[in-house]
Amino acid sequence: MSTTEQRVAVVTGAARGIGAATAVRLAAEGRAVAVIDLDEAACKDTVAQITAAGGKAIAVGCDVADEAQVEAAVTRIAAELGAPTILVNNAGVLRDNLLFKMSASDWDTVMNVHLRGAFLMSRACQAHMVDAGFGRIVNLSSSSALGNRGQVNYAAAKAGMQGFTKTLAKELGKFGITANSVAPGFIATEMTKATAERVGMGFEDFQAAAATQIPVQRVGTPEDIANAIAFFTGDAAGFVSGQVMYVAGGPLN
C-alpha cells in the first residue's frame, strides 16, 4: 500500500457502546471503517457520526458467529473499502446465570459470539493482512476473564480470547501482523445497564457502587477503551504483540 492509501478497519458490534466509540475513534485517526453489527440499519448512527466528521464508513449487517455471513461481509468490505488490515473483535453478549441454572444454549451463545465470532472474523481478514504485509487485530477480553460469579460462560470466553490473541500473535507475526487484547473493567454501556436491570438496581446507583471499588473512583467510558484499542492498531505499535491490557481504572487482584 502507498503511504497515502487509507487503511481499512473493521469493528464488530459497532452499532453502539465500545464498538461505536472505537469505530469513531479509528475513523478520526484516518481509517476507513466497516461498522459491523447484527442489523445493518442499527449501524447507521455510527456511520453518520463518522461521515459528519468527514470520515469514511460503511454499515455492514453480519452475525459474526455465522460463517457464510462473515465471509460475505469481509468480501463486501474488501470490494467497497479496500483490504481490511485492522480488525477489532468487539461483538459481545451476556447470558449471565449461576452454573446450576445456566442452560446449554446460554453457554453456546456466549461461546459462539465471542470465540467463534473472533475466529471467523480473524480467519476471513488474515488473508488480506498477509497480502498487505501488515495487520492489527485487537480482541476484546474482560476483567471477568479472571473469574466472576454468575458468568462462567462469559469468563471462559473472555479468558479464551486471551489465549486466542497470544496464538494469533505467534502465528501471524512473521507477516507483519500483531494481535493484542484489551480487557475492560466496568464500562457504562447498554451491556452494564442490562446487568443493573437484571440485579434490580438503577443504572446510576449501580455505577456509583461500582466506582467505589475502582481505584480512580469512576466507571469507564467507551472512549477509555477506544483509546487503548487505537494504540494497538497504530502503525507505531508494530513491536507490541500478544499482550493483554487491562483497562479498568486500576490493577485487578
Ligand X SMILES: NC(=O)c1ccc[n+]([C@@H]2O[C@H](COP(=O)([O-])OP(=O)(O)OC[C@H]3O[C@@H](n4cnc5c(N)ncnc54)[C@H](O)[C@@H]3O)[C@@H](O)[C@H]2O)c1
- Residues near ligand X, by CB under 6 A: 12-13, 15-19, 36-38, 63-65, 90-93, 113, 117, 140, 142, 184, 186-187, 189-192
Kindly state the smallest distance separating residue 28's Cβ from ligand X, in Å: 18
Kindly state the smallest distance separating residue 239's Cβ from ligand X, in Å: 25
Kindly state the smallest distance separating residue 154's Cβ from ligand X, in Å: 7
Please tell me the distance from the alpha carbon of residue 98 to that of residue 31, in angstroms, as a whole number: 41
**For ligand X, which is the closer residue by CB, 5 or 198?**
198
Please tell me the distance from the alpha carbon of residue 171 to that of residue 130, in angstroms, as a whole number: 11
Kindly state the smallest distance separating residue 174's Cβ from ligand X, in Å: 28
**For ligand X, which is the closer residue by CB, 2 or 253?**
253
Helix (H, G, I), strand (E, B) or coil at 54: coil
From the number of C-beta atoms within 10 Å of its C-beta (0-12, 13-18, 19+), residue 226 rates as: buried
**For ligand X, which is the closer residue by CB, 37 or 134?**
37
Count Cβ atoms below 10 Å from residue 80 Cβ, excluding itself: 12
CA dihedral (168, 170, 172, 175) in degrees, to 10, reads: 160
Could you say which of 119, 154, 206, 232 is catalytic?
154
Residue 154: active-site member: yes
**For ligand X, which is the closer residue by CB, 181 or 241?**
181
Kindly state the smallest distance separating residue 161's Cβ from ligand X, in Å: 8
Pairing verdict, β 135-140 and 8-12:
unpaired
Please tell me the distance from the alpha carbon of residue 218 to that of residue 221, in angstroms, as a whole number: 9
CA dihedral (12, 178, 9, 140) in degrees, to 10, reads: 20
Q: What nine digits make up the cell of 194?
A: 442490562
- 144-167: b (≥16 Cβ within 10 Å) or e: bbeeeebbbbbbbbbbbbbebbbe
**For ligand X, which is the closer residue by CB, 37 or 106?**
37
Positions marked catalytic: 154
